């Protein structure tokens, strides 16, 4: 008879908890020793997925399990705790995201797991969350950039003098096989801070996901082709200067291809109001390609005047061999200076970027 009486009340409590219009009031926060002592909640995460939604805006979605641990001496492995759990009366710290946007799946009983264990009233609450946030857009070193995706957890209901949040000894775990597509995960760091609001001081936990971009794609598709084009402009110096038209066409073609690569690689993909590392590299290649075109224009100008035997009537004629010596000196100098100076600039670029 007694068990039927208890079961009857448990069914009533369950029915009321499932009815949103007649929800039972939850318990007050647990008091361990004194009224002024804050309730301590230890938090940890299990990251399941990290998906970049938009690479231009660096919007990312993080799917994880939020584990919350605290002590409530009023709870234990007994019938009373069971009744309060099914009635939705057990106190919870109401931790939410203070930086980011909560997606679907939050506050759903299918994504929550309660567990109480021990005689002291140890409580574990695990919730599955879908959070959307924006990572930093520090693209000055693009495509060798490192970005930080930051999540902040806190409570808007309980200030620090009531609830204090701390990271667990093992604050963050990762599921194996997380694929970030264009990025690779470098590190996950956590720290604690105090957020000052008009309603008081609140305890906030910060999770930082540090990612680094895979630059191999940009290296193969942009930087190596640009270097090959610069080498093609250098090859024009080895073509006989008498075939100056071929040299000019080659130099101009290199410049046009570099401009096309620059537009496809940076202008149409990532637009920011400053120059990136990839911009500096392509500008460097354009500078040397422009120098090649300028040198070929000088050779064309000098060779076009080689058929003149005299500059002005009555002035000493300039022998054609003088032009040959001048052209030979220019060609030899450029063939040596061009590659040395280019690779020196390339080393300086890599040193400043990496």
Same domain, yes or no, for 312 and 164? Answer: no
The whole domain housing 89 covers 2-213
**Which range, 23-27, 96-100, 175-179, 309-313, has the best average confidence (pLDDT)?**
96-100
What whole-number distance in Å separates Cα of residue 280 and Cα of residue 272? 14
Over the range 9-33, which residues count as b (16 or more CB within 10 Å of their CB) and which as e? Answer: eeeebeebbeeeeeeeeeeebbeee
- Pair 223, 340 in one domain: yes
10 falls in which pLDDT band (50, 70, 90)? very low
Of 213, 237, 259, the one marking the end of a domain is 213
User: Do both 130 and 233 map to the same domain?
Assistant: no
The Cα 262–Cα 242 span in angstroms is 32
* Residues 240, 131 share a domain: no
Reported confidence tier of residue 247, pLDDT bands at 50, 70, 90: very high
Same structural domain, 206 and 238 = no
pLDDT at 4: 42
List the CATH number of the domain containing 274: 1.20.58.390
Across 67-81, 114-128, 338-352, the highest mean pLDDT is recorded for 338-352
Question: Is 297 found in the same domain as 185?
Answer: no
Between the two ends of the chain, the Cα-to-Cα distance in Å is 77
Domain co-membership, 174 together with 50: yes
How would residue 275 be classed by pLDDT, with cut points 50, 70 and 90? Answer: very high
In a shared domain, residues 6 and 144: yes
78-87, 108-117, 189-198, 305-314: lowest mean pLDDT where?
305-314
Q: For the chain, give the mean pLDDT.
A: 83
Q: Give the pLDDT confidence score for residue 259 in this predicted structure.
A: 95
Say which range, 124-133, 200-209, 338-347, has the weakest mean pLDDT: 124-133
Residues 270 and 126 in one domain: no
Residues 7 and 140 in one domain: yes
Whether residue 304 sits in one domain with residue 174: no
- pLDDT band at 12; cut points 50, 70, 90: very low
| Banded model confidence at residue 233, pLDDT cuts 50, 70, 90 | very high
User: How many CB atoms are located within 10 Å of the residue 179 CB?
Assistant: 10
- Gap between the Cα atoms of 303 and 327, Å rounded: 8
What is the rounded CA–CA span in Å between residue 75 and residue 258? 70
Residue that wins the pLDDT comparison between 229 and 312: 229
Q: What is the reported pLDDT for 19?
A: 46
**What's the CATH code of the domain at 129?**
2.70.170.10
For residues 102 and 63, the answer to whether their CB atoms sit within 8 Å is: no
From 213, 230, 257, the end of a domain falls on 213
Q: Is the pLDDT of residue 318 over 80?
A: no
On whether both 246 and 264 belong to a single domain, the answer is yes
The reported pLDDT for the residue numbered 315 is: 47
Last residue of one domain, picked from the residues 178, 213, 248: 213
**Count of domains forming the chain:** 2
């Amino acid at each position: 008879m007694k068990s039927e009486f208890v079961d009857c009340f448990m069914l009533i409590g369950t029915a009321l908890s499932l009815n949103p219009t007649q929800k039972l009031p939850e318990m007050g926060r647990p008091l361990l020793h004194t009224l002024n002592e804050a309730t301590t909640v230890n938090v940890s995460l299990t990251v399941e997925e990290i998906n970049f939604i938009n690479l231009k805006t660096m919007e990312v979605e993080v799917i994880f399990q939020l584990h919350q641990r605290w002590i409530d001496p009023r709870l234990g492995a007994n019938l009373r705790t069971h009744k309060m759990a099914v009635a939705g009366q057990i106190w919870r710290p109401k931790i939410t995201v203070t930086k980011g946007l909560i997606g679907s799946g939050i506050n759903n009983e299918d994504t929550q797991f309660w567990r109480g264990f021990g005689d002291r009233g140890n409580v574990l609450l695990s919730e599955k969350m879908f959070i959307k946030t924006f990572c930093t857009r520090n693209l000055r070193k693009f495509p060798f950039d490192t970005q930080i995706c930051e999540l902040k957890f806190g409570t808007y209901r309980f200030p620090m003098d009531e609830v204090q949040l701390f990271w667990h000894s093992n604050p963050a775990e990762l599921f194996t096989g997380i694929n970030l597509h264009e990025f690779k995960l470098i590190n996950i760091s956590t720290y604690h801070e105090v957020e000052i609001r008009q309603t008081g001081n609140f305890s906030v936990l910060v999770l930082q996901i540090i990612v680094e971009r895979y630059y191999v794609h940009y290296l193969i598709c942009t930087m190596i082709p640009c270097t090959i084009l610069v080498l093609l402009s250098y090859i024009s110096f080895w073509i006989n200067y008498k075939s100056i038209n071929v040299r000019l066409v080659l130099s101009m073609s290199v410049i046009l291809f570099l401009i096309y690569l620059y537009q496809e690689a940076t202008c149409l993909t990532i637009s920011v109001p400053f120059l990136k590392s990839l911009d500096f590299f392509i500008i460097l290649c354009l500078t040397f390609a422009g120098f090649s075109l300028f040198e070929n224009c000088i050779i064309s100008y000098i060779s076009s005047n080689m058929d003149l035997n005299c500059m002005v009537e009555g002035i000493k004629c300039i022998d054609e061999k003088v032009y040959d010596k001048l052209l030979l000196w220019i060609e030899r100098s450029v063939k040596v200076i061009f590659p040395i100076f280019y690779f020196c600039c390339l080393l300086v670029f890599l040193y400043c970027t990496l």
